[in-house]
Every structure is written in structure tokens, then in C-alpha cells.
Structure 1
Amino acid sequence: MPKWKTLIAKLNLSHLYAIAICLAGLGLFTIYNQGAFIHYTAPTWVWVYALSGAAVVLTFFTFQLPPQGNGLSLDSSVYLACIFVFGPTFSLTVLLVSSVAIFLIERKTIWWKHLINFAIYSIIIASASFSFTALGGVRGPLMDSHLLAYAGGMAIYFVLNTMLIVFYYYVFYNENLYETLKGMMKDTIIAYLSTLVLALVLVILLYHNHIFGLALFLCLSVLLSYAFKQMFAMYRDIEERANRDPRTGLFNHSYFELTLEEEMRKSRSTGSSLSLAMIDIDDFKKYNDHFGHLKGDGLIVFLAELLKKECGSPEMVVSRYGGEEFTLLMPSYDTEQAKSFLDRLRKTLNNSHFEGAEIFPQGCLSFSSGIAGYRSDIHDKSELVDQADQALYYAKKQGKNMVHVYGHQSPQEQDIDFSQDVRDIEQQLNLFMYKDLETFKHSKRVFRYAMDISELLLLDSLSKRQFTLGALIHDIGKLEIPWGILNKKEKLTPEEWEMVKWHVTWGKQMALMGDKFKDLAPYIELHHERYDGKGYPHGFKGEEIPRLCRMLTIIDSFDAMTTERPYQPTKSVEEAIVELRACAGSQFDPELTEFFISYIESRQLRTKEAAV
């Protein structure tokens, strides 16, 4: 392989982007400037140094804008004014001198970053100059008749500046392209417009007041930059106070929920690990009752300080969830790494001295913790919190002072718990025995289908439990529907049908009332969503609907078609299969539909063979 091909193979996207920007920037600088500064007279050089100095000063007065803290300086006003008054050749000379000055002042910054910054500005200035001239702009004083040219030049400057910077963050720091662009547009557009208006003000001052006008502009810009800095510092202080728990100094519940949502979005888009741990001080009530609330608050603060010290990684988010409960959000940690970290933290607390710790049953300070790992089929942040909470409940039930990962019970424990859960749900379903026997029988049949399918899908024990129990309880919300509607023989009216559709929401609320079946809420709420997005209650489509909820929709519909219902004719198994295939891709997931049909056909074949 030739050397140049080997070199290209070694380059990644960031290298190629940097090279392309540098070549484009240097090329445009050469085309537009052509070394014209060699022939400048002494008065021209005075203007070059004055405007370059102004640009350098404003660069060092960069300020940040709320809420994201994007940096902005007013030096762009100087370059735009140079374009409108002196033209591109002079503007690029001012850029060259100011870039050299910044390079000499900021020697700690690596040289190629200075070069890329120079190249980006060269591209922007050259493009804005071309647009200004193409739209009929003329160098010199500000003229009302050429407002379109000024607007066009400023628009090109703004758009190119934003796009080049956003793509820079995308290739060098792997930022999400769309989210970065949206954030910059949302937070900086007003500030950029202010910068562009200031450029027109500088044009007037330069042309009519010369150096004195430039001095006035520089004073005004420095004061504005300082005011923006103070405003951002005040904003951050207020934001910090709003996001912190006043007693412990940790993040509060509201901030935790916002951050959890953001981290789940990142994990969903990048495929990275994310774990959530919930921590609860063991036997805190006993300590509080014995020593009083003041000492109890001291214990909460003590654990908070320990968490601050031990969770020093900037990516971890430690929050006070409420009372003696804390949350630890751990991006890039899988559940095993999270458990290992929490166990070390637990042992550190066990070995920490605190007044009155001898009254605890463990003889020392301790906490219990539950961990839940984010998965792509987790639909809402509340599901992840509920899973961590259930894991915490299990850790408490096992004797406290331990860390438990959601779904990691032993097979024997899982079988016992599963049997008990089935009995508990059946007790609730028994209410259908007098209200709507068909719903009771339908739930039992769907449960049996789900048991078979879970074996064929080779589900892990946790997914199997959720899927099968979700199938059993999926219609629990129909208990809220009036008896007359549930048992009506005629076709439902539109108003009655709207009421029936509410059963998924009512059922979800019933599941969320207690801790035991919170994780089944998605199966209750989403089993009437459609693959094409035309279902209810949310209109989710495709992968937005968890995979096993999509399978439950198929099972539920198949059983409804093949059993007697007052509002529709009963189909044979063969007719139901035809209907499933006809609706695959619209109502049902096509892949899962074929999987379920294969299961039904093989079951039918076994039934016939047994009969023979």
C-alpha cells in the first residue's frame, strides 16, 4: 500500500475535519488577502493595530450565557465592522495580527487549536464578505439602501460560525450533533443578534469618529461583557441554590429527576451503561427516637459528607432523595461495577465512628442499597427508580447492611416470589368473577400464552416474571368500568368506547399504588399501543414501545379474536392467523407476529397429533 494511503487509513474523522478546515481557511485567506498588508502605509497599520487590539481585548472578555454556559465574545463585532468599512483584505489582516497576539499571550494552548480558530474565522470573514458584496453592499459608511447586504453578510457570519463550532464539538468531543446545535441556537441567538447590531454601531463610530469612536465602542463592549459575566455568575448562584438540599449540600430531588432523564437519554442514544443506586440508612428511626431529631439530622449530614468524599468522580451525581434516603446516579457503570463500588462504600461507613452508633443492631453505622441498571426497554425514568426502590426493599428484607441488584435473587427465591405474586394478582382478578367472568378467563389465557412465549424467547428470569405477570394483570383497569358497559351485548357507542380505553390508565394507577407491582405498569399501560403509532393512550410506535409489550399486544389480540366476544364475531385459529399477518407492520410488530404465529401453528400441530 502506498504511504499516502496508509496515512489516510490512520486518520480519524477529527483529524480529517481539522485538516479540511485548515486548508479551506488558509486557502481563503490567501485568495482574499494576497499579502496586501506588505504594501500598507503607516496610517493603515495604525488602524490594523487599533482594531486588532480591540479584537484581542474583547476575546479576553469572553462571557457565558445561561442556561448552558456557552461562551461568547464580542470580537465578531470588530471583524464584521471591518468587512463593512474596509473590505475582506483588511479584515483578514486584522484577524492575522490579532491571532498572532493571542498565540503569543496564550502559549499554554496547543498550537493547532490556534490554527483551527484562525482558519474558522478566515472562512467566516471571507464568506460574509462575499455575501455582502454579492447583495450589493459597498464599503464605507452605513447606508440605509444597503440594509439587505448588511443583513445577508451578518446572517452568513452567524450561520457559518454556529455550524463550524457545532461540528467541531461533534468530531472532537463526540457531542450529539442535533442536541448541540439546538442548544447553541436556543441559548445564543439573541446574544449573537446583539453582537451583529453592535457591528453596525461600530461602523458608524469608525466612519464618523475614527479612533475615538473605536475607543467608545471598546469601553461599551467591555462594560457589556462584564455585565454579562456578572449576570451569569448570579444565574449560576441562584441555580445552585435551587438545585441543592440546604441541609446536606447534596443535589435535591428535583435536580436528580432532571439529571436522570438526561442521562437516560444519553445512554439510549450512545448505548453506554447507566446504573442508579438508592441508599437508605438502616434503623434510622430507632436512632432518631433515641437521640432526638437534631442528632438524627447530624447523622444524615455525616453520611452526606461521606458520599461527597467517596463519590468524587465528576460523572457521579449524588442526591438527597428525601428523609434518610439518597440516590447515586452512575453513568458508564454497569450493575456489577456499581455493586462493587457500593459495597466498598458500605464497608467504609461500617468502619466510620459516629456517636451513638452502638445502639444499632449491627453495632455500627450501616445502610442498605438497591441498584437498577438502565436498559433500552425501560420506558420512563419512574420505572428505573421503582426498580432501584424494589431492590432496596429486598436488601432491607434480607437483614439490612447489604447491596442488592434488581432481579438478582436466587432461582429458588424467584420461583417462590413468582408463585406468591401470581396468587396475589389472582386474588385481585377474582373481583372479575362477579363483574365480568370473560375478562377473568381472558387474563388467565393470556398469562398461559405468555408463559409459553417466555420460554421460547429464552427470557431471563426477571424479564420472564415481568412479562408473564404483566400478561396476567394487563386488564386490571377494567374493574373501574361500569358493569353495564363491560357486559353490553350490542356494539359500544363512541362515548362508551372512550371510557373503555381509559382502562389502561386506570390499571397503571392501580399498579403504582403499591411497591410490589410497579414494574408491571408498562404492560398494563402500553398493551393497546400500535406498531404504526395509531394506538392509545400515547400513540407510541415501533421501538418506542418495549419489545415485550409489543408481544403482549399480539397475544391479547389473538385471544380476543379466537374467543367469543359480544361486540365481534369469533374467528377460528386459521382466520386469526390471517388477521395477524394482515395487520403485521401496522398494528403489530412484524417480526414478533411471525414468531407468535410459528408458536401457534406448532401448538396446533401437536394438538392434532395428540388427537390422532
Structure 2
Amino acid sequence: MSKLRSLTVWFNSGHMYAFIISILGILLFGYINKFEFLHYSTSSWVWVYALTGASLILTFSLVQLPPEGNEQTMESAVYLACIFVFGGSYTLTILALNCLIFYFFDRSTSWWKHLTNFSIYTVMICVSSFTFDVLGGLPGPLLNDKLTAYLLTLAVYFVSNTFLIGLYYYILYKGTLFETIKDILKDSVIVYLCTLVLSLISTVLIVHNSFLGLVLFLCLSTLLCYSFKRLFAMYRNIEERANTDQRTGLFNHSYFEEILEQEIQKSKDSGTTLSLAMIDLDDFKKYNDHFGHLQGDKLIAFVGETLRSESLKSGTIAARYGGEEFTLLMPDYDSQQARAYIDLLRKKLNNSRFTGVEIFPLGCLAFSAGVASCSSDIHDKSQLVDQADQALYYSKKQGKNTVHIYGAHSPLEQEIDFSQDVRDIEQQLNLFMYKDMETFRHSKRVFRYAMDISDLLELDTLTKRQFTLGALIHDIGKLEIPWGILNKKGKLEPEEWEMVKWHVTWGKKMALTNDKYKDLAPYIELHHERYDGKGYPYGFKGEEIPYLCRMLTVIDSFDAMTTERPYQPTKTIAEAIIELRACAGSQFDPKLTELFIGYIDSREPQHSEIVL
């Protein structure tokens, strides 16, 4: 069953819990057992030694369970069998002797943990024995007509063990008691059930076959423990093969996706830095075409082994992303540290000897890399991957064999790219001119607002590009809405409104089809989320919504209120400001709402004055 001896963290609250449980356990032991072992006969002591030996064997026969490898023991089967055959007081004697012997074998564990474990088991045995007695159970053979008493005793033992251990973890690590107990059940319910069933089997064997029955029970239990260990070893082997790229020995793409999500969440929860590098071998196709795929695979394996050995030294996580692309996930690295580290890897590969590298343009093995760092506005793992991928794209543009940080390209290059992106998006928005001219005009106005707000917020060039282009393209998904709904006069029917709400998802899918616009997807998808969590499509709340997406919500709503729409009346600027303030804290971020109102006041003070 669950034990405390593996814990190494110790707080005052946990110490208090252990103290209370220890006092309770000692008092219960003295009250129930009354030191009756001082009056045992020789035959009684023989059984005490035999059952203590059996419980010790099972205590040392640890069971490991997939997927986490949590260690469980099955000695509780002996204690429950003792309750059914000999009674609670006799069982406490066996428990005391077991814990005393185990203490001398396991001196590395603190004495208070041994005492706490003894006390927890004492409470469990006393409560279970009391339940058995109250339900009419009698020590001795297993009686068919008392099956309810046996089953409920097993249930009480199971529940008390789970509750006492769960309460300890809850006090120690906080969280919620329900979630803590649920985690314990999820990890160990199989061993619990096996233990409970084995206790009934051992009861029958001990009563009818005496010591031979105990030996048979021990054989069955140890074989079961061994089977669990083999199962866990097999699971680990399969898991390792499933998570590993066979060509390079690195983690594969699927595992990278999984660990990336975990590391992003860990970075957000702890406030630590996290960087991701995308690495692509330069001119690999040329090498592959010249020497053939088998030699190309050897080169991939060589690069993979280099990344693997270096990542083990640095605590980073290397994976093969696909083909000649690799990823390196770097917890506790900011973008500059990550760039410096990847640059060292690049130089190491440049100086590495490998057959045929002279065919490369630089005469050596080289790669281009893009680095991106996790920020508070990253709400999805694909965003970080897209940013690193874009940085990799700029690294290739700069002549390859370089490392580029996302957002670090030159202002002139940014300006040229931005102007081209605006033209490209406007070409797509021109489709609205035949379907819904007002959506086209709305997108342009929101874009101009976003340009002004970007200056007001003093956004860096890259963030400004994302925000303003996101504002320009935010309603692109409405191209999928039927003309009749998009231009309907009057209130939309519920099913029509549901279709309109889908435009954020359709628009995101459109953006993701073009690598240049992947980083705009959050502005398209999240501009109808609400600060109070009642928006769509996800119901994100407060700061779960990226900062500039919350700003876009204010801008989008203000323009919607102050320009003519077929399904709602038009407001004046003064009325719109009243509405913004009324919805601040519910629909809109209060601080950003006031910032935008201040911008409107400075821009058109004569229109924003509210006349009563």
C-alpha cells in the first residue's frame, strides 16, 4: 500500500500532521493491543514470527506501476488476513514487529517517517478491525454468510489508507484534497485491488492449510510482484521506443510536442525563461542527391548523436523534428543565452569531420537555426514553434550557417516585409468588396486604430507588425459566412448567430495555410474572448487572453458600435465610450479600456464629451 518513506520534502504543516497521527496511532495501539503479546503462548509466537516474515518479504517486494513508476507494497494483504483470522489486537503485534525490524534495515529513512507509517497502519488496522466486529465478523475461517462484513472491512481499509496518505500530500503540497486523492487512486488502484483480493485468499489458505497455506500465499504474492515489475520494465521499453527517433536516438516529433506543452506550462507557472531553437541542415538535399539516401541517413545520425551528447551535458532537450530538421528545447535559457549556445553547436559541427562534407558550399557541415523565447502572450505551443520557424526562415535568408533570434532582423528589412504583408492581406480582403463592403471598411479602420495604439504602447517593431496585421486580418473568416447572413437586416436567428461565431475558427485555419501569417492566428481566433470568460471560442478569462488580443477586442467593439451594422444600431462616440466603461471588467480589460478611451479623447475630444 501507499507509504511515506520516499518523501524528502518536509514542512512544518507536514510535521504537525505526522505528530498528530503518531500520537493517535500510539494511543490506539495501547488501547487495542494492551500489550497482550506479553502473554502469548509458544504457538502464538510461531505464527507471529511467520506472519511478520511474510509481511517483511512483501514490504521489500516493491511493485512499480506504469506510467510513472510509483512504488507500492502489498504487505497489507497479510494485515487484513490477520484481522480476519486472528483479530485486530494480534494484527497490531505483527505490525509493530514488522516496523521495528524494517527500521533497522532502512536506517536511511528518518525515524519520524517510520513512526508515522506505523501510526497510519495502526489507525487503518484499528478502524478496519472495528468495522469487522461491528458487522458481526468472527476471527477464524472465511464464512460465506459474512461476505458483506469482509467486503466492507476491505473497503474501509482501502478508504482509510487513501484518505490518510492523501491528506498528508494535500497538507504538504497544497492543491485540493479531492484532486490529491484522485491522483493516488489513479496511480495505485490496481495494486490496492490485488492486495484486497489476496487478503481473502490468504485467509482461506492459512485457515485450511496452516503454514503451507502461508507459503503458497507468499509464492503467489511474490510472483505477482515480479510480474508487475516485468510489466513496468516492458512498458518503459515500449515507451522509450515510442518516444525515440530510431535513426538518431533523439526524441521524436510526437514526444517533442508533448514535452513542449509541459515546458511552456512550467515556464508560465514558475516565471522562468524557456527558449526553442529550430535547426535545419544547410544544403542537405545536395549531399543526399550526390551520395545517396543511405549516406544521407548516416549524416543525419551523426548530427543527431552530436546534438544528443551536447544536450545531455547542458540539460536541454533535443529532438528530431523531421527530415533534416531538429529542435532544441532550452529551459532556463533566454533568447540571448540560447543563441550563444546554438552558435557554439553550429561551430562545433562546422569543425566536425564527416565523409563528403567538402561537397557543401562552405566545405563543411553547417546548419541554420532560429531561436524563439516563450512569453506571456504565448497561449499555444504552435505559436512558439511558428516563431522559431520564422526565425529559421530569416536565418536562411541571411546566407545560411547562422543563428537568428525571432524579431531581431533589421528595421529596414522589417519595414519592407511589413509593407508587403499589408499589400498581400489587402488583396485577400478585396474579396469582401463584392460580398460585404462594410467588413472590408471595418478591417481597414481597425487596422488604423491598431497602428495608433501600437505607437501609444511603444511596441517593438515585430510586435507592432503582429498586432496591426492581426487587426487587419481579424475578420477574414467571415468570407466563409453565407452572403444572406452577413448582410441580413435585423436580428440574427440563434443558428445564424452560431454560424457567425465560427468565423474566428475559419479565419485561424486560413491564416495557418500561409507560414507568413501563422503568428497572426491568435488575433483572429481570440478577438471575441471576454475578460470575464464568457466569450468564444474557448471561454478564456482575464490574462489567459493574450494582452494585445484583449486590446484588439476593445478596438473591434468600439468600431462595431460606432459604424453602421445591419444587425445592431449605431452609437455615437460618446455613447460608445459609455458602453466601453459599462463593460469594463466584464467584456473588456479595464486598464486597456481606459487607455483606449484616453486615446479617443485625445484624438476627438469634441466627440467624446458626454452631454447629459
**TM-score normalised by L of structure 1:** 0.88
Residues 1:86 and 2:53 are matched in the alignment: no
- The CA RMSD over aligned residues, in Å, is 3.1
**2:356, 2:12 → 1: CA distance?**
59
The answer for the alignment partner of 1:121 in structure 2 is 121
Change (3 A) 1:14 1:299: farther
Name the aligned partner's letter for residue 104 of structure 2. L
1:482-501 matches, within 5 Å, as 482-501=482-501
1:11-30 matches, within 5 Å, as 12-13=12-13, 15-16=15-16, 19=19, 21-30=21-30
Residues 1:514 and 2:504 are matched in the alignment: no
The answer for the alignment partner of 1:49 in structure 2 is 49
Contact 1:61 1:225 in 2 (8 A): yes
Structure 1 residue 157 displacement after superposition: 2.9
Contact 2:573 2:608 in 1 (8 A): no
More displaced 10-residue stretch of structure 1: 257-266 or 438-447: 257-266
1:278 aligned counterpart, secondary structure = strand
**2:500, 2:322 → 1: CA distance?**
37
**1:164, 1:330 → 2: CA distance?**
39
2:71 aligned counterpart, secondary structure = strand
**2:414, 2:206 → 1: CA distance?**
79
The answer for the alignment partner of 1:476 in structure 2 is 476
**2:128, 2:439 → 1: CA distance?**
69
The answer for the alignment partner of 1:426 in structure 2 is 426
1:64 aligned counterpart, secondary structure = strand
The answer for the alignment partner of 2:446 in structure 1 is 446
| Deviation per residue, 1:478-511 (Å, 9 max, x gap) | 2233444433445444454343333212211111
Structure 1 residue 152 displacement after superposition: 4.0
2:280 aligned counterpart, secondary structure = strand
Contact 2:136 2:149 in 1 (8 A): yes
The answer for the alignment partner of 1:342 in structure 2 is 342
More displaced 10-residue stretch of structure 1: 21-30 or 80-89: 21-30
The answer for the alignment partner of 1:102 in structure 2 is 102
Change (3 A) 1:165 1:283: farther
Contact 2:377 2:546 in 1 (8 A): yes
**1:191, 1:540 → 2: CA distance?**
39
**1:30, 1:330 → 2: CA distance?**
56
The answer for the alignment partner of 2:241 in structure 1 is 241
Structure 1 residue 63 displacement after superposition: 1.9
Name the aligned partner's letter for residue 98 of structure 2. S
**1:413, 1:227 → 2: CA distance?**
63
Name the aligned partner's letter for residue 247 of structure 2. R
The answer for the alignment partner of 2:317 in structure 1 is 317
Structure 1 residue 591 displacement after superposition: 4.2
More displaced 10-residue stretch of structure 1: 444-453 or 505-514: 444-453
Structure 1 residue 80 displacement after superposition: 1.9
More displaced 10-residue stretch of structure 1: 317-326 or 60-69: 60-69
Structure 1 residue 352 displacement after superposition: 1.6
The answer for the alignment partner of 2:355 in structure 1 is 355
Contact 1:68 1:183 in 2 (8 A): no
Residues 1:333 and 2:328 are matched in the alignment: no
Contact 2:600 2:608 in 1 (8 A): no
The answer for the alignment partner of 1:293 in structure 2 is 293
Name the aligned partner's letter for residue 581 of structure 1. R
The answer for the alignment partner of 2:5 in structure 1 is none
More displaced 10-residue stretch of structure 1: 365-374 or 590-599: 590-599
Structure 1 residue 119 displacement after superposition: 3.9
The answer for the alignment partner of 1:259 in structure 2 is 259
1:407-422 matches, within 5 Å, as 407-422=407-422
Contact 1:70 1:184 in 2 (8 A): no
Change (3 A) 1:112 1:374: farther
**1:519, 1:124 → 2: CA distance?**
56
Structure 1 residue 556 displacement after superposition: 0.8
Residues 1:61 and 2:29 are matched in the alignment: no
More displaced 10-residue stretch of structure 1: 247-256 or 168-177: 168-177
1:311 aligned counterpart, secondary structure = helix
**2:178, 2:277 → 1: CA distance?**
30
| Deviation per residue, 1:228-269 (Å, 9 max, x gap) | 222222222222222222222222212222222233333344
Change (3 A) 1:271 1:79: farther
**1:178, 1:299 → 2: CA distance?**
52
Structure 1 residue 51 displacement after superposition: 1.1
1:165-180 matches, within 5 Å, as 165-166=165-166
More displaced 10-residue stretch of structure 1: 135-144 or 216-225: 135-144
**1:122, 1:434 → 2: CA distance?**
80
Structure 1 residue 57 displacement after superposition: 1.0
Structure 1 residue 608 displacement after superposition: 8.1
Contact 1:95 1:118 in 2 (8 A): yes
Change (3 A) 1:228 1:472: same
**1:101, 1:525 → 2: CA distance?**
63
**1:287, 1:131 → 2: CA distance?**
76
Change (3 A) 1:200 1:455: farther
**1:568, 1:338 → 2: CA distance?**
51
Change (3 A) 1:437 1:83: same
**2:549, 2:136 → 1: CA distance?**
61
2:219 aligned counterpart, secondary structure = helix
**2:314, 2:67 → 1: CA distance?**
19
2:276 aligned counterpart, secondary structure = strand
The answer for the alignment partner of 1:190 in structure 2 is 190
| Deviation per residue, 1:498-527 (Å, 9 max, x gap) | 433332122111110111110110110121
Identity of aligned residues (%): 67
**TM-score normalised by L of structure 2:** 0.88
Change (3 A) 1:126 1:454: farther
More displaced 10-residue stretch of structure 1: 23-32 or 189-198: 23-32
Structure 1 residue 12 displacement after superposition: 4.7
More displaced 10-residue stretch of structure 1: 121-130 or 391-400: 121-130
The answer for the alignment partner of 1:225 in structure 2 is 225
The answer for the alignment partner of 1:159 in structure 2 is 159
Name the aligned partner's letter for residue 526 of structure 1. L
**1:266, 1:456 → 2: CA distance?**
32
Q: Give the paired residue count.
A: 600
**1:341, 1:178 → 2: CA distance?**
43
**2:423, 2:487 → 1: CA distance?**
26
**2:585, 2:138 → 1: CA distance?**
60
Structure 1 residue 298 displacement after superposition: 0.6
Change (3 A) 1:170 1:434: same
The answer for the alignment partner of 1:6 in structure 2 is none
| Deviation per residue, 1:324-353 (Å, 9 max, x gap) | 111222334333433333223222222221
Change (3 A) 1:31 1:338: farther
The answer for the alignment partner of 2:584 in structure 1 is 584
Name the aligned partner's letter for residue 536 of structure 2. Y
Structure 2 portions without partners, runs of 5+:
1-9
**1:460, 1:13 → 2: CA distance?**
47
More displaced 10-residue stretch of structure 1: 394-403 or 23-32: 23-32
Name the aligned partner's letter for residue 208 of structure 2. H
Structure 1 residue 124 displacement after superposition: 3.2
Residues 1:398 and 2:415 are matched in the alignment: no
Structure 1 residue 394 displacement after superposition: 1.9
**1:169, 1:497 → 2: CA distance?**
48
**2:494, 2:377 → 1: CA distance?**
33
1:327 aligned counterpart, secondary structure = strand
Name the aligned partner's letter for residue 510 of structure 1. M
The answer for the alignment partner of 2:6 in structure 1 is none
The answer for the alignment partner of 2:385 in structure 1 is 385
Structure 1 residue 301 displacement after superposition: 0.1
